[in-house]
Amino acid sequence: MLTALSSLSTLIAAQRLNEADYLSLKYLYKMAYLVSLRPPWGAWLSNLMAAWMLLVVICMLCNYRRRAVHDYFAGTVVLRERG
């Protein structure tokens, strides 16, 4: 869901692009220009996604089964085959 909303914010930004300005920029400046054209909720969404990923990493590092947050939500367990 978060990824779909993030993609939507990027599509909205892409529709606002001035093609001549965009093509005259180098790669990193193109990305910054695209980010600047996102709707206001796009920045909020990016921060939410970063917080979610940080929560997933912390959760995986803090339990012996290496379960992520979504594993707890779904009730799944990671299984490893011994070789």
Rounded Cα distance, 67 and 35, in Å: 33
66: left (phi over 0), alpha (psi -120 to 50) or beta: left
Residue 63, token pair as written in the block: 């339990």
pLDDT mean over 63-69: 84
Rounded Cα distance, 34 and 30, in Å: 6
The predicted-structure confidence for 4-53, as pLDDT tens digits, reads as follows 998 899 999 999 988 898 889 999 999 899 889 999 998 899 899 999 99
The DSSP annotation for 30-77 comes to HHHHHHHTS-HHHHHHHHHHHHHHHHHHHHHHTSTT---HHHHHHT--
Domain locations in the chain as residue ranges? 2-74
